[in-house]
Amino acid sequence: MKFGTKAIHAGVEPDPTTGAIMTPIYQTSTYVQRSPGDHKGYEYSRTHNPTRTQLQNALAALENGKHGLCFASGMAAIDAVVKMLSPGDEVISTNDLYGGSYRIFTKIFQNYGIKFHFISMADINNIENYVNENTKLLWVETPTNPLLNIIDIKGAAAIARKHNLKLVVDNTFATPYLQLPLDLGADIVMHSLTKYMGGHSDVVMGALIVKDDELHEKLAFIQNASGGTPGPQDCFLLLRGLKTLHLRMQRHCENGRAIAQYLKNHPKVEKVFWPGFEDHHNHAIAKNQMRDFGGMISFVLKGDKMEDAIQTLERFKFFALAESLGGVESLCGHPASMTHASIPREERMKGGLSDSLIRLSVGVEDIEDLIADLEQAIG
C-alpha cells in the first residue's frame, strides 16, 4: 500500500461483532473469562484493550514496524525505554532536544545512576568520541527541537551496530509520512502522538514502534507493569487522526516552505532554522532521509533581543501562543521560557538556543492569512 492508503486501512479491521468500519471505543476495564486463564485475548485493560490494539497495529504499519506500544504520553514512552537500562549504564543524546526529554533524563534517571551525554550530532562521527563499555543507548531527535538540526539516522545506526547499542529515534517532528527510521536502521521509534499523529490538539499520548520481537517483549512488560497506558477514548481519537495524516502533512509542508522563504527574505529576521534551505548544515542528509521538510520553523529577529521576541509573540492573531505543536492550527512559542525552560540557560546557549528564539508550528490554514499574520506581528 502507498502511504495514504496505509494511513486509512493498515492495521485496522472492521469490528467482528457488528461490522462497524470505525474501531469502537471498548470502554471496559475487565473481560469475562470462560475458565481461569481461558479468555479471548483480553483480561484487563491495562494489559490489553481492543481499541488500543487496533491503534498499535496501525502505528506499526505506518512506521514499517512489527509491534506498536501506546502510552499515556510521550514522556511515559520515554520512561519505558530508559527503564530497560541499569545503574552505571550510559546514554548518548543530542544537545538540542525537547526540554521534557532533558528533564526526565537529568532530574529522574540520572538519580538512579544512569549517565547522559548531550552532544552535537551534526557530524555523526562525534558520537564515537563518547562511546565506552558502559554505553547502551543512542537517543536521537531529527529534526531536533527547536533548532531543526538534522541527524544522519543511517550513520547513527551504523555506529550503534558497531558498538552493540540500541538506537532510539524520536520521530515526532517528522512523522512516518516524512521519514521511516526503522528502515534506516533504528531499533526503536518514539512518538509524542499528541502532536502531528493526532493532529487536532485534543489528545495526549505517546508510542514506541519496533521490529524486534525480544525488544517488544521487554517494552510490553514495562508498559503493563508500570501502567502508563492510554484509555480507549484517546485511542479512538488517535485512530481518527491518523486517517488524515498524509493530507495534513502535505499542507503543513507546503505552508512551512512558504513561511520559511518569507521569513528568510524579511528585513527584520536575522536567521531562520529550517532544514529545507540548501545552506542548512545537513540539508543533503535531510533531503536523502526525508520526503519533505515539515512545518516546524524557528527564527531569531535582528538584534537578538528577548523583549522583541516577546512583543512579536504577543501580537500574533492566527498563530496561537501555546505549548505543543503539530495540530491543524498554527502555534507559536518561546522555547526558552516554555517548552525548554527546564534546560539550564548555559546549556541552552551552548546548543545555540537563545532567549530570543521563536518557534512556529505551521498549521493548515490558508497561507495568505498566515503570512499576513507574520507581517503584522513582526512589523
Please choose, from the candidates 216, 193, 212, 222, the residue with its C-alpha nearest in 3D space to the C-alpha of residue 324: 193
Q: Are 91 and 82 in contact (CB under 8 A)?
A: yes
The three three-digit cell numbers of residue 191, written as one number: 512518538
Instruction: Give the helix, strand, coil percentages of the chain, each rounded to 5.
Output: 40, 15, 45
- Cα–Cα distance measured from residue 138 to residue 354, given in angstroms and rounded to the nearest whole number: 26
* DSSP label of 108: I
Catalytic residue of the set 26, 83, 96, 98: 98
Q: Give the list of residues 6+ apart from residue 196 with CB closer than 8 angstroms, or none.
A: 172, 173, 175, 245, 248, 249, 252, 325, 326
Output the nine-digit C-alpha cell for 373: 499574520
> For residue 221, what is its C-alpha cell?
512488560
CA distances, 193 to each of 12, 56, 200, 291 (Å)? 17, 12, 11, 20
For the chain, first and last CA: distance in Å?
47
Considering the candidates 6, 195, 211, 257, report the single residue annotated as catalytic. Answer: 195
CA neighbours closer than 13 Å in the CB half-sphere of residue 61: 22
Q: Which of 79, 96, 152, 170 is catalytic?
A: 170
Secondary structure element (H or E) that encloses residue 215, with its range: helix 213-226
- Cell numbers linked to 379: 512589523
* Sign of torsion over alpha carbons 183, 186, 187, 192: negative
Burial environment of residue 277 by CB neighbours within 10 A (0 to 12, 13 to 18, 19 or more): middle
- Per the CB < 8 A criterion, the answer to whether 200 and 327 are in contact is yes
Active site residue 162: no
Residue 98 is a catalytic residue: yes
Beta carbons of 11 and 59 less than 8 angstroms apart: yes
Rg (alpha carbons) of the chain, rounded to whole number: 21
Residues recognised as catalytic: 46, 98, 170, 195
